[in-house]
Amino acid sequence: MAMWLRVCEAGDVPAGEVRGFRVALLSFPIMVAHVGGQFLASSSICPHEDVSLLGGDLHGQVLTCPGHGYEFDLESGRCAHDAGLRLRRFPVQEAGGAIYVEIDLHRDAR
């Protein structure tokens, strides 16, 4: 079952930055980036070593993991260092000044 969950206010994520947020029903923080005039959302946990991506360097839409330096394209989820790794991403909607992400309770709520 898919549903849209409110993550934050759009103003909570300044252009060119990334922020982490706790969201009801999810066991991991959601990371929202504001890059290229759009909001992108993903898990804030690195799929390489399960460390937090928050605090990593953001260059354009590429985030570097502070743990091991792996780079992830926040739009595609692709890892520049390992084609087998993908960042878990979520569809984003901005409405009424707030940011919402779509989650599938069967797939994402763990």
pLDDT digits (tens, 9 = 90+) for 10-49: 999 999 999 999 998 888 899 999 999 999 999 999 999 8
> Tokens for 86?
């993908």
According to CATH, the topology of domain 2-104 is Rieske Iron-sulfur Protein (2.102.10)
* pLDDT, tens digit, 9 for 90 and up, residues 18-27: 999 999 888 8
**DSSP SS3 for 12:** helix
Whether the per-residue pLDDT at 110 is higher than 60: the answer is: no
Q: For residues 56-83, give the mean pLDDT.
A: 96
Whether the per-residue pLDDT at 50 is higher than 80: the answer is: yes
pLDDT band at 108, cuts 50/70/90?
A: low
pLDDT value at position 109?
Answer: 58
Q: With contact defined as beta carbons under 8 Å apart, do 42 and 30 qualify? A: yes
Whether the per-residue pLDDT at 105 is higher than 80: the answer is: no
